[in-house]
Chains A and B, each alone.
Chain A
Amino acid sequence: MEYTLLFLETPAEMARGETADAPAYWGAWTAYMGAMAAAGVMRGGNALMPPATATTLRITDGKWAVEDGPFADTKEQLGGYVIIDVPDLDAALEWAARAPCATAGSVEIRPVMPNPPGP
């Protein structure tokens, strides 16, 4: 069964990627992604550029609003995601627990919809 792991990070954790701490930060993520690849569970995924690079579009009553920055000011921001293929939610949780941001943010686990309902 396919699950998407959404990696949510605190601003402080995300900032580590661009400071003197960067080697440790990226080392942990590289090891994590490598372990998923070695175990053969990874189906895809990406790391995302920081939230400051985001642009948000919203159309309300025909009015376009284009804003700099992410959709909302939340405590945690999306840093990346992977899609994994594992037997069940227990296994997905086990992989989520290994994410470096599990202790500095959170991981949201969502089943991938197998066949989106047609029209």
Chain B
Amino acid sequence: MTGAARRPAETPAAPLARQAAEQAARTSYGRLLALLASRSRDIAAAEDALAEALAAALATWPERGVPDNPDAWLLTAARRNLGHARARGATASAGAETMAMLQDERDSTAPMPLGDARLQLLFVCAHPAIDAGVQAPLMLQTVLGLDAARIAASFLVAPATMSQRLVRAKTRIRDAGIAFAIPAPDQLAPRRAAVLAAIYAAYGTAHDDVPAVAEAQGLAGEAIWLARLLGELMPDDPEALGLLALMLFCEARRPARRDAAGGFVPLLAQDARRWDAAMLAEAEALLRAAARFRTPGRFQIEAAIQSLHTETVLTGTANPGPLLALYDLLLATAPSTGARVGRAVALAALDVAAALADLDALAARCTGYQPWWAARAHVLRRAGDTAGARDAARTAAGLASDPAVRNWLLAASQE
């Protein structure tokens, strides 16, 4: 990972020890942070304590050697820092409870069992009391330790705004006393859906004609890492498998999305030989494993749509009927503007007039929505309205932030 943020400033440490410290940061950051914050619910204090411990590791490991259990070493050091910080903050007015917890923190020198509290941490990040827009950033920061500036860029938000939102969310978790716990069975389904949606938001939009911001920022890998983690922590959840499958389908096609000259290549024109075959196979296997639970959901359906697109390119045979059926299922399960636009494009292969009517019905809310304009250009072209298709393609180009996509749409606006 390039983003083990909160990483202390470079010291002239022995490379091996630094590697060990960085390795610990990469694989254990979220696990350690979850343990440190679970009792006090104070994520910001836990982050500071962990950052201090990582700095100490970089300073001492080169001299004294890497400890046998780096994680336990870091946890002990961080817990000590946390205790000291509380002692500094505790005043005469501190309640007995605080003092007891303080003593507790200082006394606990025995290595604590390294249970995995990351799932609880993910549930905290996606708690309904936390603003939906900051849930994914919060996950990237607390589980992976990414810094606010890098997260801000990938979500196209000003760095100061992102920092502020993250601080506010952490304060809310602490002050509202949001529990580090797996939700009760009656709340589990909606809470799990929120965790999945936040991880998907970290990946960015998966629409093939709109390259994800995350992709441009190199955060796609981090989001997939989160999805894998979730799959390991909740192996019996078909939607967790579906989400990972969906992300892998999109990721596998990334190499084929640009031609040799850097030009944009839409999905159906892609050279399948440039897809990542191993990743596609894994995605297909995940989708099959999810299907065995016989509980369809939004991410499984979206992954199935991507699987069908893949097959269409590989066989050269379009499957408009099954594609439309999947979109209908998706709209019944998780209605969204994006899904409606996708359905209209699928429908255009069967009934272009009906597809156009569906798009028209969405017009009022889609004036600045790039996929709608791109879809409109496609459907109008099919309908034989060349002038209308050109205009729509031009507007879609104006809404594109990726130069390759913009150029491709501009070319379409002149065809």
**Interface residues in chain A, defined as those with a beta carbon under 8 Å from any beta carbon in chain B:** 24, 27-28, 30-36, 38-41, 89-90, 93-94, 97-98, 100, 102-103
Contact = CB atoms under 8 A, between A and B. Distances in A.
B290 interface: no
A24 B411 CA distance: 9
A100 B158 contact: no
Question: Which of under 10, 10 to 19, 20 to 34, or 35 or more describes the interface residues of B?
Answer: 20 to 34
A77 B93 CA distance: 58
B343 interface: no
B199 interface: no
Nearest to B161: A89
Nearest to A90: B157
A102 B158 CA distance: 15
Contacts of A90: 156-157, 161
A39 B401 CA distance: 16
Given A24-B407, A89-B161, A34 B400 contact: no
A32 B410 CA distance: 11
Interface centre among B373, B401, B403 (most CB of A within 10 A): B401
Nearest to B368: A39
Interface in B357-415: 367-368, 373, 394-401, 403, 406-407, 409-410, 413
A31 B368 contact: no
B415 to A, nearest CB: 13
Contacts of B403: 100, 103
Nearest to A93: B156
Given A27-B410, A100-B406, A103-B403, A33 B398 contact: yes
Contacts of A36: 398
Given A31-B406, A31-B413, A97-B156, A41 B398 contact: no
Nearest to A91: B368
Contacts of A89: 158, 161
Given A97-B156, A98-B401, A28 B395 contact: no
16 contacts: A27-B413, A28-B410, A31-B406, A31-B410, A33-B398, A35-B396, A38-B398, A39-B368, A39-B399, A90-B161, A93-B158, A97-B156, A98-B399, A100-B403, A100-B406, A102-B401
B368 A35 contact: yes
Contact of A41 (B368, B395, B406, B413): B368
Interface centre among B396, B398, B401, B407 (most CB of A within 10 A): B398
A34 B398 contact: yes
Contacts of A97: 156, 401
B399 to A, nearest CB: 5
A98 B157 contact: no
A98 B394 contact: no
Given A41-B368, A89-B161, A97-B401, A35 B410 contact: no
Given A39-B367, A40-B367, A90-B157, A24 B410 contact: yes
Contact of A31 (B156, B158, B161, B394): B394
Given A27-B410, A28-B410, A30-B394, A35 B399 contact: yes
Given A89-B161, A98-B401, A35 B395 contact: yes
A38 B410 contact: no
Q: Which 10 A-B pairs have the closest CB atoms?
A: A35-B398, A31-B398, A39-B368, A31-B397, A97-B401, A32-B398, A39-B367, A35-B399, A31-B394, A98-B401
